[in-house]
Structure 1
Amino acid sequence: MVDYIIVGFGIAGVSVTEELERRGKTYLVYEDSSQKASRVAAGVCNPVVLKRFTMAWRGGELMDGAISFYKGIEERLSQSFVDELPVLRRFNSVEEENLWYEAADRPVLREFLSENILKNKNEGIGAPFYLGKVHKTHKVALSQLLSSYMAYMKAKNSLIEEPFVHDDIEILDNGVVYKGVKARHLIFSEGYGMVQNPYFNQLPLVGNKGEYVIIKSETLRLKEAIKAAFFIVPLGNDLYKIGATYDHQDKSKETTEAARDKILKKMKEVLRCEYTIVSQESGIRPTVRDRRPLVGTHDTYKVLHLLNGLGTRGVLMGPFLAKQLLNSIEKGETLEAEYNINRFA
């Protein structure tokens, strides 16, 4: 008997699991590593949409809580996953520089966008115009965090590494039974795998495929992330992650030559250094048509719940949404309409 069964362990899954830990709840996690989006994500925690110089959905509100949440996981596991990482926006024109000044003067963006634009001093980067700096941004080493948390759960017998079979769920009035384990509640956090979930697959989860290229360059020497056509994120040891692409049509798990060529073609405009390609990664992000998360409880089976649709900013939104979902389950609090799944009822 446990309080919760959790299905899926990406950003949504670890957000729910850690929140349960903090509340002293027991749980059992099922994870088959079929969904890669969280593991390949760059992990940049940034509240600003740098394409348009606008605030992401609840970006400023969620930022401090997200960083505090991941630092709490560092303390639990006695490991380091979170680092401050400034983000520099490479301008393409004088017009963009002027738009940056206007955005930095808005109250909602003032604490994040520097009012002083910078001249590029890195010879490995081509930047004919200036750079804008975003404050308070961080990088979360997601793959390392997820692997370490899985080891922690495995040591306490709270992790089952096998595919979850939806047809084997027995739903009771006061809980569920799955393969001999009874739980008061079951939370699905399956990412794009939700399209195979018979209880929630009617929701408009679209999904888009993102691919990254990992390069090695001993002369680039970036200490910040650069946002140009794609992000360039330093990983340490002269390694850099570049991406990601967006493809709404291809739902395959394999990397593609077309995505690699697209990334490298765009990077020719930015990189002025020698580099070698080390690897390529891909994952399908769980995105929703209205660009809002999917959080809530099944309209018929009140012991089945969902946290999904975190899209491209899951690292920022996951901790907040996990807390809201558990407050709705444990305390009866009403979920806000803009992310509650009943908006699609």
Structure 2
Amino acid sequence: MLDYIIVGFGLSGLSFSEQLLKNNKSFVVISETDKSSSVVAGGMYNPVILKRFTSPWNAIPQLEYAIPFYQEIENRLNTHINNPLPVLRVFNTIEEQNNWLIASDKPNLAPFLSTIFKKNDNEFILANNDFGVVEKAGRIQVAKLLSAYKLELLKNDSYRNEVFDYDALKIADDFISYKGLKAQHIVFCEGFGLKSNPYFNYLPLNGTKGEVLIIKAESLKLNAIVKSGVFIIPIEEENRYLVGATYHWTDKTWKTTDEAKSELISKLNTVLSCDYEVVGQLAGIRPTVKDRRPLVGRHPEYKNMYVLNGLGTRGVMVAPTVSDQLLDYIEYKTVLDTEIDIQRFADEYIAS
């Protein structure tokens, strides 16, 4: 009998797989990989909300745990996935510069907000004022990470590339079975796919569609992430950059749209003056929650069924710590943080 079945293989499914590997637990992942928003994720880890110069939820402990977590995977798979890069925030006004300096005095932001502004030395970036520099930021190559990790799981016969069939799941008191597999526990890490899950679809997962462009700009030569109306993120391929992202709350399709492309180009043109070519466009649905906290915990009725979801827009930072918490909760009976425990939505389950 297996210890676990994991359903879904984005950042949450991968992170929980890694926790199981580190704890010598047996498991199988079942996933239709191309339906993960993680595949199209920008992969940026940024410990500052740059619109308001505030700190995201639990940013410091999340980052302190996440970077060594990804480093361990890098070393084991012998695959480079972590690109540390500063974020350069374009200042539109002197007032924004002043607000930055005020924010840099706060204990939870001081480690990240440099008090020394950077001169704009790139002739193709339209920025009249200096940049604010966010340190200890960067990008995880998420698609490359998922691909390399999936390959390892396939070699170990621990991955099934298929759509999960809820009707084939059988639940007993002390185990679950699924198409010839038996396991002590099942953990659903499905992202927006949770909306189709009959066991957890009572949870208030909204989903926010996001689209990004891939551009080729030979003159730009950026070695940092630039944040203005959009993020411009250097990626692995030479002279290519991710530009994003859009937010759409009603469209729940995975199709790219001309509207999003136009929006991103319009914003990009306010900060970029060099020639560029749009060479790709990607779309995904972020698993967002109404209270902006992850969905983690045990099913109210079935004691061997769990969920790990709702990582939102900062999945790269959030996934490692919450997956660690969930494993400790299952295996060692620790208490989940009330902020992430799905028990906070118990009333929704009763109402359903």
Normalised by the length of structure 2, the TM-score is 0.97
Aligned to 1:302: 303
Counterparts of 2:155 and 2:329 in 1: how far apart (Å)?
Answer: 30
Give the letter aligned to residue 341 of structure 1. Answer: I
Aligned to 1:170: 170
Counterparts of 1:175 and 1:74 in 2: how far apart (Å)?
Answer: 33
Superposed CA RMSD: 0.7
Contact map agreement 1:35 1:192 (CA 8 A) in 2: no
Counterparts of 1:138 and 1:214 in 2: how far apart (Å)?
Answer: 18
Counterparts of 2:114 and 2:127 in 1: how far apart (Å)?
Answer: 18
Secondary structure of the residue aligned to 1:49 is: coil
Aligned to 2:188: 188
Q: Mapping of 1:295-334 within 5 angstroms?
A: 295-334=296-335
Deviations 1:253-274 (A, max 9, x none): 1000000000000111100111
Aligned to 2:293: 292
Aligned to 1:116: 116
Contact map agreement 1:205 1:309 (CA 8 A) in 2: yes
Contact map agreement 2:7 2:188 (CA 8 A) in 1: yes
Deviation at 1:50, TM superposition (A): 0.7
Counterparts of 1:252 and 1:205 in 2: how far apart (Å)?
Answer: 15
Contact map agreement 1:36 1:282 (CA 8 A) in 2: no
Deviation at 1:35, TM superposition (A): 2.2
Deviations 1:25-65 (A, max 9, x none): 00000011252310111111111111110000000121121
Counterparts of 1:35 and 1:173 in 2: how far apart (Å)?
Answer: 31
Give the letter aligned to residue 318 of structure 2. Answer: M
Structure 2 gap ranges (5+): 347-352
Q: Mapping of 1:5-84 within 5 angstroms?
A: 5-84=5-84
Structure 1 gap ranges (5+): none
Give the letter aligned to residue 338 of structure 1. Answer: E
Counterparts of 1:46 and 1:179 in 2: how far apart (Å)?
Answer: 41
Deviation at 1:128, TM superposition (A): 1.3
Counterparts of 1:34 and 1:298 in 2: how far apart (Å)?
Answer: 26
Deviations 1:293-338 (A, max 9, x none): 0000001101000000000000000000000000000001111111
Give the letter aligned to residue 219 of structure 2. Answer: T
Counterparts of 1:92 and 1:40 in 2: how far apart (Å)?
Answer: 29
Give the letter aligned to residue 261 of structure 2. Answer: R
Aligned to 2:240: 239
Aligned to 2:350: none
Contact map agreement 1:206 1:287 (CA 8 A) in 2: yes
> Which deviates more from structure 2 when the two are superposed, residues 210-219 or residues 76-85?
76-85
Alignment of 1:282 with 2:283, yes or no, is yes
Counterparts of 1:260 and 1:322 in 2: how far apart (Å)?
Answer: 34
Give the letter aligned to residue 84 of structure 1. Answer: P
Secondary structure of the residue aligned to 1:54 is: coil
Alignment of 1:98 with 2:94, yes or no, is no
Deviation at 1:76, TM superposition (A): 1.5
Deviation at 1:117, TM superposition (A): 1.1
Give the letter aligned to residue 186 of structure 2. Answer: L
Contact map agreement 2:9 2:36 (CA 8 A) in 1: no
Deviation at 1:105, TM superposition (A): 1.3
Aligned to 2:349: none
Alignment of 1:266 with 2:263, yes or no, is no
Report sequence identity in percent.
46
Give the letter aligned to residue 194 of structure 1. Answer: L
Counterparts of 1:98 and 1:185 in 2: how far apart (Å)?
Answer: 52
Contact map agreement 2:225 2:234 (CA 8 A) in 1: yes
Give the letter aligned to residue 198 of structure 2. Answer: P
Secondary structure of the residue aligned to 1:28 is: strand
Q: Mapping of 1:212-231 within 5 angstroms?
A: 212-231=212-231
Aligned to 1:159: 159
Aligned to 1:255: 256
Secondary structure of the residue aligned to 1:263 is: helix
Secondary structure of the residue aligned to 2:35 is: coil
Give the letter aligned to residue 190 of structure 2. Answer: E
Deviation at 1:84, TM superposition (A): 1.0
Counterparts of 1:44 and 1:148 in 2: how far apart (Å)?
Answer: 19
Give the letter aligned to residue 270 of structure 1. Answer: V
Deviation at 1:138, TM superposition (A): 2.1
Moved over 4 A (4+): none
Give the letter aligned to residue 125 of structure 1. Answer: I
Deviation at 1:213, TM superposition (A): 0.5
Contact map agreement 2:36 2:191 (CA 8 A) in 1: no
Counterparts of 1:289 and 1:54 in 2: how far apart (Å)?
Answer: 19
> Which deviates more from structure 2 when the two are superposed, residues 305-314 or residues 228-237?
228-237
Contact map agreement 1:42 1:241 (CA 8 A) in 2: yes
Counterparts of 1:332 and 1:248 in 2: how far apart (Å)?
Answer: 37
